[in-house]
Amino acid sequence: MRFRQKIQAVPRQAELSDLLPVAGFRLGTVCAGIRYPDRRDLVVMELAPGSRSAAVFTQNAFCAAPVTVAREHLQSGPPRYLLVNTGNANAGTGAQGLLDAARCCELLAAGAGCESTDVLPFSTGVIGEALPVEPIAAGLPEALAGLADAGWQDAARGILTTDTVPKGASRRLDIDGHTVTVTGIAKGAGMIRPDMATMLAFIATDAAINNDLLQACLERAVAGSFNRITVDGDTSTNDACVLVATGYSDLPAITAANGNYERVCQAVAGICDELAQAIIHDGEGATKFVTVAVENGLSTDECLQVAYTIAHSPLVKTALFASDPNWGRILAAIGRAGIPDLDLAGVDVFLDDICIVRHGEVAADYTEAAGQQVMDRDEITIRTVLGRGTVSERVWTCDLSYDYVKINAEYRT
Q: Please report the domains of the chain, with CATH numbers, ordered by start residue.
A: 25-281 (3.60.70.12), 289-409 (3.10.20.340)
- In the 8-state DSSP scheme, what is residue 20? P
Phi first, then psi: give them for residue 88, nearest 5 degrees: -155, 125
**CB 32 within 8 Å of CB 138:** yes
- What's residue 16's pLDDT? 72
Distance CA(202)–CA(108), nearest Å, equals: 19
Which positions ≥6 away from 51 have C-beta within 8 Å? Answer: 24, 25, 78, 80, 244, 245, 246, 247
The pTM is what? Answer: 0.92
Which strands sit side by side in the sheet containing 25-30, from one edge to the other?
A: 25-30, 42-47, 81-88, 119-126
Q: Which amino acid is located at 84 in the chain? A: V
At 91, which amino acid appears?
A
Helices and strands: H and E segment counts in the chain: 11, 15
Annotated active-site positions, please? 198
Q: Per-residue confidence of the chain (413 residues) as pLDDT tens digits? A: 333 333 344 444 445 768 999 999 999 999 999 999 999 999 999 999 999 999 999 999 999 999 999 999 999 999 999 999 999 999 999 999 999 999 999 999 999 999 999 999 999 999 999 999 999 999 999 999 999 999 999 999 999 998 999 999 999 999 999 999 999 999 998 888 988 766 899 999 999 999 999 999 999 999 999 999 999 988 889 999 999 999 999 999 999 999 999 999 999 999 999 999 999 999 999 999 999 999 999 999 999 999 999 999 999 999 999 999 999 999 999 999 999 999 999 999 999 999 999 999 999 999 999 999 999 999 999 999 999 999 999 999 999 999 999 988 988 77
